[in-house]
Amino acid sequence: MIKLMAFDLDGTLTQHKTKLSDEHREILTKLQEKYTLIMVGAGQCRRIFNQLDAFPIDIIGNYGMQYAKYNPETKDIDMVYDIQENCNKEETEKKVTFLREKHGFTEFAGENVEYHISGCITFPVLGTKAAQADKLAFDPDRKKRRAFYDEVKELFPDYNVFVGGSSSFDMAPKPYNKYYALAKYCEENDIKHDEVVFVGDDYGIGGNDESVYVSDFGFLTIDNYEDFPKVVAHLL
């Protein structure tokens, strides 16, 4: 008996960094009549809420470092907590530079590393100011990054490392990842893991949904966000 449905956003409910469509909004509304719904995202709660066009839903952001509840009176979200960790930027710069020099990515546009206020880190292989077309063409099947994914994990043992987007590695301070975030939510709300189903697209090796995919939570895979209606049809 499913009580809770948890969702990734980009690539699952929407195209990357695009608004929620009217069709998918209608489906979420119907699902909300039967289940509790929650977003479990890699990005900040506010960005997710805006991308959803203020759909009334609670949001876990930054791999569990943020949590925001929807307020029906204000029709906005209220931040419950916003955890921030320190990052040793000097050591991070050295490690990323070492990886660039070893694997031939010494030419890049913009900054060497992107630092987030949460303490999360992005290693943008092409740099922080690379052209969008270059990023999309760089590693569509993720083979280039997966070739040295284990090295990145070994160099950053205090972080959970993900093969992010089209040309980056994303890192969240341990223990934060989507499994940790969802398990914590379930513990706090007295929900058993077999009463949950997660819907996500980034479930392959290094994907930020992988930790949930290989866990004891139910998981519905989606490889094209346009298939969302078909993927959840049996739950309506």
All domains of the chain in start order, with CATH: 4-83+176-235 (3.40.50.1000), 89-173 (3.30.1240.20)
108 falls in which pLDDT band (50, 70, 90)? very high
Q: Could you report the per-residue pLDDT of 196-234, keeping only the tens digit for each?
A: 999 999 999 999 999 999 999 999 999 999 999 999 999
Q: Check residue 216 and give its pLDDT.
A: 98
Q: What percentage of residues in the chain have a pLDDT greater than 90?
A: 96
Q: Which two tokens stand for residue 23?
A: 């069709």
pLDDT class of 165 with cuts at 50, 70, 90: confident
Answer whether residue 16 shows pLDDT above 90.
Answer: no
Question: Residue 17 — pLDDT band, cuts 50, 70, 90?
Answer: confident
Q: What is the arithmetic mean of pLDDT over 76-94?
A: 97
Q: What is the model's pTM?
A: 0.94
pLDDT in tens, 61-83: 999 999 999 999 999 999 999 99
